[in-house]
Structure 1
Amino acid sequence: MTSEMITADAAGTWTLGDLTVARVGFGAMRLTGSAAFHLGTPSDRERAIAVLRRAVELGVDHIDTAAFYFSRLRSANEIINSALSPYPDGLLIAAKVGPFRDYHGEWGTSARPDQLRGHVEENLRQLGRDHLDLVYLRRMRQDSVAEHFGALAELRDKGLIRHLGVSDVEPRHLAEALAIAPVVAVQNRYALDSPDPATDELLRVCGEQGIAFVPFYAVAGRRGPQAADADAGADHDEVLAVARAHDATPAQIRIAWTLHQGPHVLAIPGTGNPGHLAENVAAGALRLTDDELRRLDALRRPAG
């Protein structure tokens, strides 16, 4: 499909609290140079800056990032700041807190509730902002999110955060968070070939409650962070067949399928490649048939 002139508004919009965004956004993890952001060769900085600026030109108004998105020589937040500051009106920047990496890139234990303010302030410093539009608490295997989420709710009350979300959670964790403060978005791993009944239930609950569901690894699927950027040659036969029918790439079909899961579902595909960026945005214009959706949905059913 021709992608150069298609903009993000082709996918429609969704409102996060009081902020309306296009349903196709941009994930910043790959700006550091690798699908697994803590590995591999750092990206070309000027190319990454150009990709971000082109994303905004294409109508992308939702960027997902984190202070722990950095590689040996690159910080996603620093690149975002350099590329887009002063930030255009209407641009939503979402950040995640909870995981911790030291300056050598090594993962530490999950942040304590009293450390989350420091994580938020580090994102603010790197991005050059006085508040964050949306902050996700990324659950790090803890059974309860109440204490951590409560700490973020206090920062929202102080004006450092505008809206709150949760990530890598089960439905019970969402209910726990909602009892403390409003949740505008949930970010979990979700892809057509990664079946997970708990996540399917979470997607349904979010739809019923008007909460955005924002999948990560939607393009990489079960291959996860090790998948190549928009790897077109290694995919399921059904994905390849639907892609041929639409003169599209497999990555575009995966994004389109994601968006077809409900009007509250947003996509945040990431890339450091300008051509792939245009393709990702254009995927929001694809309309899959009921038969194509049935064939793709079958990939979510466990074998047997």
Structure 2
Amino acid sequence: MKTRLTGDSGLELSAIGLGCMGMSWVYAESERDDAESDRVIKRAVDLGVTFIDTADLYGPFTNEELVGRALAGRRDEVVLATKCGLVPDMSLYPTKVKVTPNGRPEHIRASIDGSLRRLGTDHVDLYQLHRIDPEVPIEESWGAMAELVAAGKARHIGLSEAKVEHLERASAIHPVATLQSELSLWSRDPLADVLPWCQANGVGFLPFSPLGRGFLTGTIRSADQLPPSDFRAQQPRFAPTALERNLRIVDGVEKVAQRHDATPAQVALAWVLAQGPHVVPIPGSTRLAHLEDNVKSVDLELGEADLVELDGLPAPVGTRF
């Protein structure tokens, strides 16, 4: 597996990571299988995937336990990342997913201890603030995150879905190792300002949902395929009319894939990888077959003409959330 240095932090990751959210949270409950997830995580490490990403929110809390069990005896082989700062409203779940930011220093300090206990480790390699809390100055939240580095509970700290303003204010207090945000062929907003800022300032960029929450694989052709318990059924881009129009994007990805004897997922991931040497996508794989397919994207070289064609695909219909 190829590796990438994600900016100035010295944090070296496999060129593609493994996002574990879908193993425990928000996607269709029928797709969850702890035994299969355990196999996927272990197989990922066997294949050289060294970056494993989770969060206390997922499950909630149960995903960290799953990851901890799967990595028992292999902790030193991976760069382990988790997150804090989002609190779920379980009274509405799974009918509706609602979360509230909590960036108070006391919440952050308590959260890391819970995560370390569930993961079965004494430190994480990357601790991320899941969302900026608009009620708490970023300086206070980030100061608490920096305390965890000083205490040895986290090697590096990062942000998720932060704007350039937040990145600048946080980096004035303590280095921001990484930024995690959504980036794919149907979510390209970070290309305008956030991704260039990260590249210019030595911050690694970790795209979540690089496969458009599974849409870019070409396996979702109708809104009827998503049960009510799947949070995508609530999202504007997966509404019947929008989804039908968004298939134009998938058709374009499939066209490039056919030329390379590749899968649409591999092309979609290769496009993300082509956005910069500091970019490490973290697709969520819940099945061994999906994992094996995604890992092969690292060796897919898209030509300039391919990238121009993909860049020219239509913008998605519907907002992200």
The answer to whether the superposition gives a TM-score over 0.5 is: yes
Cross-structure match for 2:230: none
Which sections of structure 2, spanning at least 5 residues, go unmatched? 222-246
TM-fit CA distance, 1:279 = 0.6
| Alignment map for 1:121-160 (pairs within 5 Å) | 121-140=113-132, 142=134, 144-160=137-153
Q: 1:86 aligns with which of 54, 59, 73?
A: 73
Cross-structure match for 1:4: none
Cross-structure match for 2:29: 40
Amino acid aligned to 1:91: V
TM-fit CA distance, 1:218 = 1.2
1:51 and 2:40 aligned: yes
**How far apart, in 2, do the equivalents of 1:80 and 1:184 lie?**
22
Q: 1:63 aligns with which of 41, 47, 52?
A: 52
TM-score by structure 1 length? 0.85
- Secondary structure at the aligned position of 2:80 is classed as strand
TM-fit CA distance, 1:101 = 2.4
- Secondary structure at the aligned position of 2:187 is classed as coil
**How far apart, in 1, do the equivalents of 2:126 and 2:47 lie?**
22
Q: 1:96 aligns with which of 78, 83, 90?
A: 83
Amino acid aligned to 2:4: T
Q: Deviations over 1:40-92 (max 9, x none)?
A: 33622211111111000100000010011116xx8221111111112243410
- Secondary structure at the aligned position of 2:5 is classed as strand
TM-score by structure 2 length? 0.81
TM-fit CA distance, 1:204 = 0.7
**How far apart, in 1, do the equivalents of 2:168 and 2:264 lie?**
35
**How far apart, in 2, do the equivalents of 1:212 and 1:108 lie?**
26
Equivalenced residue count is 283
**How far apart, in 2, do the equivalents of 1:231 and 1:98 lie?**
33
Aligned-residue RMSD, C-alpha: 2.4
Equivalent pair of 1:218/1:258 in contact (CA under 8 Å): yes
| Alignment map for 1:204-215 (pairs within 5 Å) | 204-215=196-207
TM-fit CA distance, 1:107 = 4.4
Over the matched positions of the two proteins, sequence identity in percent amounts to: 36
Cross-structure match for 1:110: 101
Equivalent pair of 1:99/1:140 in contact (CA under 8 Å): no
Equivalent pair of 1:67/1:76 in contact (CA under 8 Å): yes
Cross-structure match for 1:275: 289
1:240 and 2:240 aligned: no
TM-fit CA distance, 1:23 = 1.4
When residues 248 and 233 of structure 1 are mapped into structure 2, their CA distance, relative to the original with a 3 A threshold, is: farther
Amino acid aligned to 2:263: T
Q: 2:187 aligns with which of 172, 184, 194?
A: 194
**How far apart, in 1, do the equivalents of 2:22 and 2:86 lie?**
18
Equivalent pair of 2:123/2:155 in contact (CA under 8 Å): yes
Equivalent pair of 1:232/1:251 in contact (CA under 8 Å): no
- Secondary structure at the aligned position of 2:12 is classed as strand
| Alignment map for 1:218-257 (pairs within 5 Å) | 218-220=210-212, 224=213, 227=214, 230-232=217-219, 234=221, 235=247, 236=249, 237-257=251-271
**How far apart, in 1, do the equivalents of 2:18 and 2:99 lie?**
27
- Secondary structure at the aligned position of 1:94 is classed as strand
TM-fit CA distance, 1:164 = 0.7
**How far apart, in 2, do the equivalents of 1:179 and 1:61 lie?**
29
**How far apart, in 1, do the equivalents of 2:312 and 2:216 lie?**
24
Cross-structure match for 1:298: 312
